[in-house]
């Protein structure tokens, strides 16, 4: 996701859309928070924008939607911002331990659909960092043997809907790396068929349910 892209919380039902929010990474080293009303209209949340790190490149919400993870490409770090969604009773601020060290030029983030796990594609070091999310606190702990080798210039990382596999698009190698997720530790192991050749410069991935 590039700076300025919207990451939307679409888990709420139609009757609860007034509680939905969107977040945008900005090149100023901040992120904007917006509320979405039942008709889909956006409005800036109070206090927005909020500070993050240098050159926010990708955004992802934790499974509770209360913590925003921001990949700061020029800081080689992942910011974790708590207190979301913005309200009169919340305090938007970095959580304990933030920012967390990644590889160089973190470019893409994926959060597991069935487990509290997070992966970051690091374009500058050609690898993937893996973290365990610490419950509702949202703190991050590196997974065993992280980071994991990827291809040249990994540009996107996704987790399949079952949480059993991870895929990484390597834009500099024209390949797709495939990994199995350890069911106990969430560590990654490259599949025997990995990598798979693609067209030129794969830059994004989508997986169906």
Burial category of 182 from C-beta neighbours within 10 Å (exposed 0-12, middle 13-18, buried 19 and up): middle
Residues paired with residue 165 on neighbouring β-strands, in sequence order: 180
Q: In 10 A of CB 15, how many CB atoms?
A: 8
Domains (range + CATH), the chain? 1-101 (no CATH), 103-209 (2.120.10.30)
| Model pLDDT for residues 34-80, shown as the tens digit of each residue | 988 888 899 988 889 999 989 999 999 998 889 999 999 999 999 99
Query: For 91-120, what is the mean pLDDT?
Result: 93
Residue 14: the pLDDT is 40
Residue 22 has pLDDT above 80, yes or no: yes
Check if the beta carbon of residue 57 is closer than 8 Å to that of residue 25: yes
The dihedral region occupied by 124, where left means phi > 0, alpha psi between -120 and 50, and beta the remainder, is alpha
Residue 15: the pLDDT is 39
Residue 19: the pLDDT is 55
Residue 21 has pLDDT above 80, yes or no: yes
Query: For 79-86, what is the mean pLDDT?
Result: 92
| Model pLDDT for residues 114-145, shown as the tens digit of each residue | 779 999 999 999 999 999 999 888 999 999 99
Cα–Cα dist 165/159, whole Å? 6
Cα–Cα dist 126/163, whole Å? 22
| Model pLDDT for residues 163-185, shown as the tens digit of each residue | 999 999 999 999 999 999 999 99
Express as a percent the part of the chain with pLDDT over 70. 90
Cα–Cα dist 167/155, whole Å? 11
- Three-state SS annotation for the chain: CCCCCEEECCCCCHHHHHHCEEEEEECCCEEEEEEECCCCCEEECCCCCEECCCCEEEEEECCCCCCEEEEECCCCEEEEEECCCCCCCCCCEECCCCCEECCCCEEEEEECCCCCEEEEEECCCCEEEEEEEEHHHCEEEECCCCCEECCCCEEEEEECCCCCEEEEEECCCCEEEEEEECCCCCCEEECCCCCEECCCCCCCCCCCC
Residue 88: the pLDDT is 76
């Amino acid at each position: 996701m590039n700076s300025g892209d919207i990451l939307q919380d679409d888990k709420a039902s139609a009757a609860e859309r007034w509680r939905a929010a969107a977040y945008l990474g900005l090149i100023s080293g901040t992120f904007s928070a917006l509320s979405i009303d039942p008709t889909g209209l956006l409005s800036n949340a109070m206090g927005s924008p909020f500070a993050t790190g240098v050159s926010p490149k990708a955004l992802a919400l934790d499974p509770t939607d209360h913590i925003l993870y921001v990949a700061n490409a020029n800081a080689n770090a992942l910011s974790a911002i708590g207190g979301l969604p913005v309200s009169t009773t919340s305090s938007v601020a970095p959580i304990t331990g933030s920012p967390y060290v990644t590889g160089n030029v973190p470019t893409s983030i994926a959060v597991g659909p069935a487990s509290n796990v997070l992966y970051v594609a690091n374009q500058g070091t050609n690898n993937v960092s893996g973290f365990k999310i610490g419950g509702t606190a949202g703190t991050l702990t590196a997974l065993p043997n992280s980071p994991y080798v990827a291809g040249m210039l990994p540009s996107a990382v996704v987790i399949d809907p079952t949480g059993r596999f991870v895929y990484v698009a390597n834009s500099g190698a024209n390949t797709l790396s495939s990994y199995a997720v350890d069911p106990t530790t969430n560590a990654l192991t490259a599949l025997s068929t990995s990598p798979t050749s693609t067209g030129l410069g794969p830059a994004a991935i989508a997986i169906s349910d």
